[in-house]
Structure 1
Amino acid sequence: MKNLALSARLTPWLFVLIWSTGFVAAKYGLPYAEPFTLLTYRNGLTLIVLFILMQANKSIWPKSGWAFIHLMVTGLLIHGIYLGGVFQAIKWDISIGLTAMIIGLQPLGMALIAGVILHERVSKKQWMGLIIGLIGLYLILFEKVDFAITGLFTNYSFWAVLAVFGSLVGISLGTIYQKRFCNDMDLISGTLVQYFGAFILCIVMSFYFENGDINWTNTFIVTLAWQVFGLSIGAVLLLMTMIKQDASARVGSYFYLVPALVAIQAWYLFGETMNLISIIGVLLIAFAVAMTTSNKSS
Structure 2
Amino acid sequence: MNLLLSIAFVLCWSSGFIGAKLGAGTASAVTILTWRFLPLAVILMIIAAFSRASWRGLAVRDVARQAMIGVLSQSGYLLTVYYAIQLGVSSGTTALIDGVQPLVAGALAGPLLRQYVSRRQWFGLCLGMGGAAIVTMADATAGAGAVWWAYLIPFLGMFSLVAATLLEGRSRVRVAPTVAMAVHCATSAVIFTALALSAGAVVPPAEISFWAAIIWLVALSTFGGYGLYWLILRRSGVAKVNTLMFLMAPVTAIWGALMFGEPFGPQTALGLAVALAAVAIVYRADTSSTRARSRNADTCEAARPAIRRAPSPASAGRPGRRRLP
TM-score higher than 0.5 here? yes
| 8 Å Cα contact 1:61-1:190 kept in structure 2 | no
Identity of aligned residues (%): 25
- 2:26 maps to 32
Q: Which whole-Å CA distance do the structure 2 matches of 1:59 and 1:11 have between them?
A: 27
Q: Which whole-Å CA distance do the structure 2 matches of 1:168 and 1:120 have between them?
A: 20
Report the Cα offset of residue 212 of structure 1.
2.4
Q: Which whole-Å CA distance do the structure 1 matches of 2:192 and 2:26 have between them?
A: 17
- 2:314 maps to none
Shift in alpha-carbon separation, 1:34–1:69, aligned structure 2, 3 A: same
Report the Cα offset of residue 55 of structure 1.
6.1
Letter of the 1:287 partner, please give it.
A
Letter of the 2:45 partner, please give it.
F
1:88-237 alignment, distance < 5 Å:
88-146=83-141, 155-156=146-147, 158=149, 160-181=150-171, 184-237=174-227
- 2:63 maps to 68
Q: Which whole-Å CA distance do the structure 2 matches of 1:51 and 1:286 have between them?
A: 38
Report the Cα offset of residue 183 of structure 1.
6.3
- Unmatched 5+ stretches in structure 2: 293-325
Shift in alpha-carbon separation, 1:37–1:96, aligned structure 2, 3 A: same
| 8 Å Cα contact 1:137-1:256 kept in structure 2 | yes
- 1:241 maps to 231
Aligned partner (choices 279, 282, 296) of residue 288 of structure 2: 296
Q: Which whole-Å CA distance do the structure 1 matches of 2:268 and 2:24 have between them?
A: 28
What is the TM-score when the length of structure 2 is the normalising length?
Answer: 0.80
Letter of the 1:156 partner, please give it.
V
Q: Name the Cα RMSD after superposition.
A: 2.5
Q: Which whole-Å CA distance do the structure 2 matches of 1:240 and 1:182 have between them?
A: 15
1:41-93 deviation line (CA, Å, top 9, x unaligned): 21112213323544676661261101101100110001100001111122222
Report the Cα offset of residue 203 of structure 1.
2.3
- Unmatched 5+ stretches in structure 1: 1-6
- 2:315 maps to none
SS in 2 for 1:93: coil
- 1:4 maps to none
Q: Which whole-Å CA distance do the structure 2 matches of 1:45 and 1:117 have between them?
A: 36
Shift in alpha-carbon separation, 1:182–1:79, aligned structure 2, 3 A: farther
The structure whose Rg is larger is 2
Report the Cα offset of residue 24 of structure 1.
1.3
Report the Cα offset of residue 273 of structure 1.
5.4
- Which deviates more, 123-132 or 173-182? 173-182
- 1:78 maps to 73
SS in 1 for 2:71: helix
- Which deviates more, 59-68 or 75-84? 59-68
SS in 2 for 1:189: helix
Report the Cα offset of residue 269 of structure 1.
4.6
Q: Which whole-Å CA distance do the structure 2 matches of 1:122 and 1:68 have between them?
A: 30
